[in-house]
Structure 1
């Protein structure tokens, strides 16, 4: 019998949920420890829709991939999806065990799903042990060995088993091989899910959705935990880790959103930051107090761009990173830092009342 973990190691598959960890290492640990499996199909990031697309169009391969992770064992397999979503309905209709997840931003985080599976709240665990080995959580509860894999990761496992590592490595780069799904949304002609790969131009991904409109001014990459680029930067950026790192970002969960140029970008950013502040799990100071203060600082700076608000905002951002119980405040801080830098020319126009007006909700750009 083919060793699926060896195939994945040869292929170089890494997690497609954003973290980019080696899938082969996870699978070996899961097998050695008899780990249960949670397939994360929540589309938890702002602008994410690819998990729903996989469930709608490749459910059979998804189920097969989950079986390959089990590798002849009989671990418990559950499929995580937001309660009442179309994804949950499709999974339930197929007779699959569904872990129903609340509609909260942090609810689909890896340890939040583990907590929910244990009968607790869907909140990230403050003790961030590698639970594929089992152990006890921050509340002292015993955690059985559990591995969480993104739906696209599980689908790619099925593909590699049929098409081989060489097929997989024919896409992407040596360091970041394989095809990757990208959700392209916002101000484009054909929003949807498209196949991309590391190393292609960001404009190639946008071309699949009708291209970057000539009047577009800003492009978000990675959702609320990502970064904001100018249209000029987007036209010259390579979509891989080095290319995104040069802008302070990463490949992340595969999300590209073109912002509507008819709307004030400072207001769009304010809406996203405010949304992030409202999605706190309420477990640590950086989230409970830091993010609302960040949102207030951003709003103050938008009202008075010529004051000392920029320095205060920058100081606030420095107090958020790497201090939270989970990565949520880090992600919002990363986005706010990027937006503050990218929108520097916009603040002057905002102060002079010459920018495009219009307060928007984050969901319009998801």
Structure 2
């Protein structure tokens, strides 16, 4: 590949791996293997172009954030103010959200373990595009092996001249720091992550101002997910048309789907956006033991659940939303007919109650009371009004919380009641009937 023109690639087969193509290579995490497989060639091309050209390329590709929200990546980069470059101008920062705490999600950590240099190269290209000279990769603290591997990849990049001063004689400087988080789920929310990165307690900030104007250290900041940034070198190498040849019109490109639960072969499956669960189940070997599918999550436990009726819903941002859920982090959790829906919802809600930062009342108090009700119901002590009470609590949380954690906590409850209300009612119906006060009086008279 020359510095003048990007490589031209023909349209790939629908299941040709892009993000995971190096995962099975010997020592795939090393810089030697990465360079043998076209690694850092996209960087050489990008450094020969104007930063705005790279931003426009990513805009044209239609790449959308892979962390759950699906916001157009190129547009997010374009929000960074680029005019002020004088002595008093604030620096610009790139922050990588590698916290990955959503239940069922397992795509970013495998990426960093198997192919950390795709993230590092993406960070350098992105930083160059937004004119940032500092990048922080915020990795979930429990992922110790992952932290070590990414740090080693950064060291290798420094040694090869891909990081530091005057990268590849381009005049561009960049430093990358790999930061170990403190393990809180809330730090997956971008502003809570920024607070944690600054050394404070991880709690979401009030927006506006948004990170694009007042992010890390109150400076313009881009916060992107690992999978999003790891997609950038492929886009620079292949071009926007090549990238758009995969996926759907409004959700182009490949995506890593984390398939877990009652399937024969759980794991990470890369596929074009818009694939259906029916096809994913075929790739995963079908339902475990042949027990039929009952319900599943398209994007982790914070997305409304789907049922067997949704097997053919396109799993892209528009398709999932049109069917009443969200694509989220594409954490496809599959449950068969042996699983109690109220029990599963209770376990998810216990997680959200535990991980609520407590900053806002709707989430702090709402998740607490939802857990109390669900635990009482699952243990056979439900009352007739419990279902409506839960729906009322969810209504008071949804849209009233400081961040999306509260909204996400309501999704499994409201969707479970929508599709499986009878299971909740059966827990109530199993209770012994309570006698009417008049009947109690008659009984007491009879015994006297």
Give the TM-score range, shorter chain: 0.7 to 0.9
CA deviations over 1:41-60 (Å, ceiling 9, x no partner): 22121111100121122212
Match of 2:370?
A: 294
What 5-or-longer segments of structure 1 have no aligned partner? 354-366
Correspondence 1:288-327 to 2 at 5 A: 288-302=364-378, 303=380, 307-327=384-404
Pick from 334, 340, 343: which aligns with 2:411?
A: 334
Classify 1:351/1:294 alpha carbon distance in 2 versus 1 (closer, same or farther; 3 Å).
closer
Q: 1:233 maps to which residue? A: 309
Match of 1:188 among 263, 277, 289: 263
What's the CA shift for 1:29?
Answer: 2.9
Post-superposition offset of 1:352: 6.6
How far did residue 304 of structure 1 move?
Answer: 5.1
Flag the 1:225–1:146 CA change in 2: closer, same or farther, 3 A: same
CA-based RMSD of the aligned residues comes to 2.2
Aligned to 2:110: 53
**Cα distance change on mapping 1:335 and 1:348 into 2, 3 Å:** closer
The structure 1 residue matched to 2:254, chosen from 168, 174, 179, is: 179
The change in CA–CA distance for 1:55 and 1:31 in structure 2 (over 3 A counts) is: farther
TM-fit CA distance, 1:109: 1.2
Aligned match of 1:78: 136
Between 1:75-84 and 1:28-37, the stretch displaced more is: 28-37
Correspondent of 1:17 among 63, 67, 72: 67
Instruction: Please report the TM-score for the alignment, with normalisation by the length of structure 2.
Output: 0.73
User: Following superposition of structure 1 onto structure 2, how do residues 341-360 of structure 1 map, counting pairs within 5 Å?
Assistant: 341-350=418-427
2:91 equivalent to 1:91:
no
CA distance in 2, matches of 1:110, 1:202: 29
Return 5+ residue gaps in structure 2 as ranges.
1-48, 85-90, 156-175, 431-448
Give the alignment's TM-score, normalised by structure 1.
0.88
Using the TM superposition, give the Cα deviation of residue 264 of structure 1 relative to its aligned residue in structure 2, in angstroms.
2.3
Q: Distance in 1 between matches of 2:71 and 2:182?
A: 26
CA distance in 2, matches of 1:169, 1:189: 32
Contact kept in structure 2, 1:300 and 1:309, CA below 8 Å: no
Find the residue that maps to 1:30 and give its secondary structure: coil
1:220 equivalent in structure 2: 297
Which residue in the other structure is 2:227 paired with? 152
Q: Secondary structure at the match of 1:259?
A: strand
Q: Is the 8 A contact 2:373 2:382 kept in 1?
A: no
C-alpha contact (below 8 Å) 1:259/1:265 kept by paired residues? no
How far, CA to CA, are the matches of 1:290 and 1:90 in structure 2?
39
> Which of 213, 218, 228 pairs up with 1:133?
213
The Cα offsets for residues 214-234 of structure 1, whole Å up to 9 and x where unpaired, read as: 42312122212112122x223
1:301 Cα deviation after fit: 4.0
CA shift for structure 1 position 120? 1.1
Other-structure match for 1:101: 181
| Residue aligning to 1:68 | 125
Q: Distance in 1 between matches of 2:59 and 2:126?
A: 14
Call closer, same or farther: CA 1:21–1:293 in 2, change over 3 Å: same
d(CA) in 1 for partners of 2:142 and 2:177? Answer: 14
1:264 aligns with 2:340: yes
Question: Secondary structure at 1:266's aligned position in 2?
Answer: helix
The alignment status of 1:163 with 2:243, answered yes or no, reads: no
Q: Which residue matches 1:124?
A: 204
Structure 1 position 348, deviation (Å)? 4.7
- Once the 2 structures are TM-superposed, how far is the Cα of residue 300 of structure 1 from its aligned partner? 3.6
- Note if contact 1:36-1:75 (Cα within 8 Å) is conserved in structure 2: yes
